[in-house]
Structure 1
């Protein structure tokens, strides 16, 4: 955990993304972006595919939340920025990513609801270009609905032509740089969010 000059914890960037069934290209891409945010002096916390698989389907009428749901919501409440990474499933975001974002309804009555005033970096991976574009468009619409600010740059990654490795890299250096740019942009714009709501 990094601290500022006064000993306070560094601002937090939360990463949301991945797929069920193992570490995916989507999750590897997210780790690169979060790694760059960490290099800019931010704390990071990631909710990957395995974490999202433990979230039950969102039920707005539920009177209690599981520990996993509570941990996810609390992390986003404490965040100064978010990065969302989704595979393109049938032209849009995956169900597990959407389910996690639906859970942010728990923050509706907070002084800072949803993703209000937060910079949000966006990543889409798909086996082909068509789904990357539509998935980025869907993510932007969702972030706007949640009152967040999508960063100017979003990464659309065609996994037909780009392969990720276990060492935190990818076969195309330009893709790695695009993901790092997302990390730098959320770090740059996070101070404008006004910090964490009380």
Structure 2
């Protein structure tokens, strides 16, 4: 399978982006293709429906990758109880053609305990784009974010470090099972 992770932060080394990078590692470790589209590294133009923007290099790349994806992961920081503006902008550029019938996992990183508000909003957006929300989501906050900070070197001990890794791996494993089931069903109806 081909999975695209859309990292929706406008901050370098954001914990939500690093969580997306960890998802790429896990997915590749399971033998699937995975790529990260980092909106900090590849910014998109501000969505303007009256303007022709399809030839914008980053937008064309996003469009191609999302259309080719079998499954999608949306990763966002939580700002003021919502998803990031750059992720919302990217989603505004996309359509049902990119999401329809595809499984989507929502993940977030919050400065507080957890980022549930942003995840609920992502699930509503996915439903409106006719995607299929995964039955679980991933939200990290507080001390759990330490594992995904740029300064984390893997040797540091903090409470819950293995728990968060185990939870992320379990949820992504469940998501991959859903994605494989849906991909197999989609492929069998096309044959």
Match of 1:142 in 2: 125
1:114 Cα shift? 3.1
1:35 pairs with 2:25? yes
- SS of 1:122's partner is strand
Residues 42-61 of structure 1 aligned to structure 2 (within 5 Å): 42-52=32-42, 54-61=43-50
TM-score (norm 2): 0.83
TM-score (norm 1): 0.81
1:18 Cα shift? 4.0
Match of 2:76 in 1: 86
Match of 1:4 in 2: none
Following TM superposition, the consecutive aligned residue runs of length 4 or more in structure 1 with deviations greater than 6 angstroms are none
* Kept in 1: contact 2:77–2:109 (CA 8 A): yes
1:160 Cα shift? 4.5
Residues 17-166 of structure 1 aligned to structure 2 (within 5 Å): 17-52=7-42, 54-65=43-54, 66-105=56-95, 108=96, 113-129=97-113, 132-163=115-146, 164-166=148-150
Distance 1:168 1:29 in 2: 15
- SS of 2:145's partner is coil
1:73 Cα shift? 0.8
Distance 2:40 2:52 in 1: 24
1:165 Cα shift? 4.5
Structure 2: runs of 5+ lacking an equivalent: none
Distance 2:20 2:75 in 1: 6
Match of 2:3 in 1: 13
1:178 Cα shift? 2.1
1:190 pairs with 2:179? yes
Match of 1:175 in 2: 164
1:45 Cα shift? 1.1
C-alpha RMSD of matched pairs (Å):
2.2
Structure 1: runs of 5+ lacking an equivalent: 1-10
Give the direction of change, closer, same or farther, for the CA distance of 1:70–1:175 in structure 2 (3 Å limit): same
1:103 Cα shift? 1.0
Distance 1:24 1:140 in 2: 21
* Kept in 2: contact 1:22–1:49 (CA 8 A): no
